[in-house]
Amino acid sequence: MLPFAPAPADCTRPKTNSEVSRDRKAPIFYLYNMSTGYQIVVCGGIVPDPLQTLEPVANPSGPALKNEMMLPAVLDPWASHALYEAANLAKQVPGSKVWLASLGPKAKLQQVLMTVAQKVPFELVALDGTASGFADAAETAVVLAAAIQTIPGLDQSRLLVFGGWESASRGAGVTMQMVGERLGIVDQFQGVDELKIEADGSFQVLERVEGGKHQVSRCAGPPALLGWATGNLPEPKNNPQTGMVNMRSVMPALQKAKPVKLADTIAYASVSLPKQLRETRIVKDKSPDEIAREIVEWIRK
């Protein structure tokens, strides 16, 4: 539901000066028992380190980045926030468990997870395939949803799917929504900065809207999908003990990673870096009004 769409008949919107609010009621068979904990699946891909210079090139198989396999990789920053929030929630609610579902080249995944595994506890669901930002978001959602459905003992009534609101590679911003639809999850929240669990098992979500405000959403319980923005948590410190525990399951998961090939449903005519144009003129003794007037005239052109 869009932030300012008409509210359903069973929704109420308390009016405040700083927030837009809405309530959501899940079907009665989804009301949640806090004693069983959550099953939290985080979708997170790997991307080139943001400090690297990226140059698109055209290959016979389609567009790619120059020397892509040589570029150092990191976990998508948006997905990192989702993973840290998932671990924090699992720590608060006993019986909860976190999985990280990731699609990327097996060798690159192993490099990245050597670091990520030291941050928070999780179990890996690995898919061996492309991490290219030129891959179709819809095809990516298909394989991620299928991988989530293969998790042993997955309980839809306890399921929370986390991911990045946006992506540093697949910047279409639609992958998580399509994953949720394929899993039959209709309660979806995007641009999430905070998730607060209530005493009755319901939860309150703060979603970003225009004007620096947050929309306050209330949901009776899982299943739900949350696309995280930056959240409120700092990056956890490296913990070698956590890393050792995680790697016991990460390495076997990488060895058993299912090879996947995304369908070529998108054709690119060309790929190139945005053109940069900078015209600098050094002028002395101009008043602020004259400078502002000249800037406005330049923008209008």
Whether residue 177 contacts residue 145, with contact meaning beta carbons closer than 8 Å, is answered with no
Residue 279 lies inside a defined structural domain of this protein: no
Percentage of the chain modeled with pLDDT above 90 = 8
With CA atoms as reference, report the closest residue to 169 among 265, 77, 59: 77
With CA atoms as reference, report the closest residue to 50 among 142, 152, 167, 144: 167
Model confidence pLDDT, tens digit, residues 53-76: 777 777 776 677 777 777 778 888
- Please give the backbone phi and psi of residue 244, each rounded to the nearest 5 degrees, phi first: -65, -40
CATH number, domain of 198, equals 3.40.50.620
Q: 188-197 and 224-228 as β-strands: parallel, antiparallel, unpaired?
A: parallel
Distant-in-sequence, close-in-space partners of 92: CB < 8 Å, separation ≥ 6: 197
Residue 7 lies inside a defined structural domain of this protein: no
According to the model, what pLDDT value does residue 221 have?
Answer: 82
Under the banding of pLDDT at 50, 70 and 90, the label for residue 23 is very low
Of the two residues 277 and 174, the one the predictor is more confident about is 174
3-state secondary structure (DSSP) of residue 200? coil
Does residue 127 register a pLDDT over 80?
A: yes
Task: Count structural domains, the chain.
Answer: 1
Measured CA to CA, the distance from residue 190 to residue 192 in angstroms comes to 5
Average pLDDT, the chain: 78
Residue 264 lies inside a defined structural domain of this protein: no
Residue 4 lies inside a defined structural domain of this protein: no
DSSP string, 245-279: HHHHHHHHHHHTPEE---------S---PPP----
Which structural domain, as residue segments, surrounds residue 235?
19-259
Of the two residues 172 and 205, the one the predictor is more confident about is 205
Residue 295 lies inside a defined structural domain of this protein: no
Under the banding of pLDDT at 50, 70 and 90, the label for residue 5 is very low
Residue 247 lies inside a defined structural domain of this protein: yes
For the record, the structure tokens of 137 come out as 């978001």
Whether a cis peptide bond, with omega within 30° of 0, leads into 223 is yes
According to the model, what pLDDT value does residue 98 have?
Answer: 92
Residue 267 lies inside a defined structural domain of this protein: no
Q: pTM (2 decimals)?
A: 0.73
Model confidence pLDDT, tens digit, residues 102-119: 888 888 888 888 888 888
Does residue 225 register a pLDDT over 60?
A: yes
Residue 277 lies inside a defined structural domain of this protein: no
According to the model, what pLDDT value does residue 171 have?
Answer: 58
**Residues 18-48 as b or e (16 or more Cβ within 10 Å = b):** eebbbbbbbeeebebebeebbbbbbbbbbbb
Provide mean pLDDT across the span 18-23: 44
Under the banding of pLDDT at 50, 70 and 90, the label for residue 172 is low
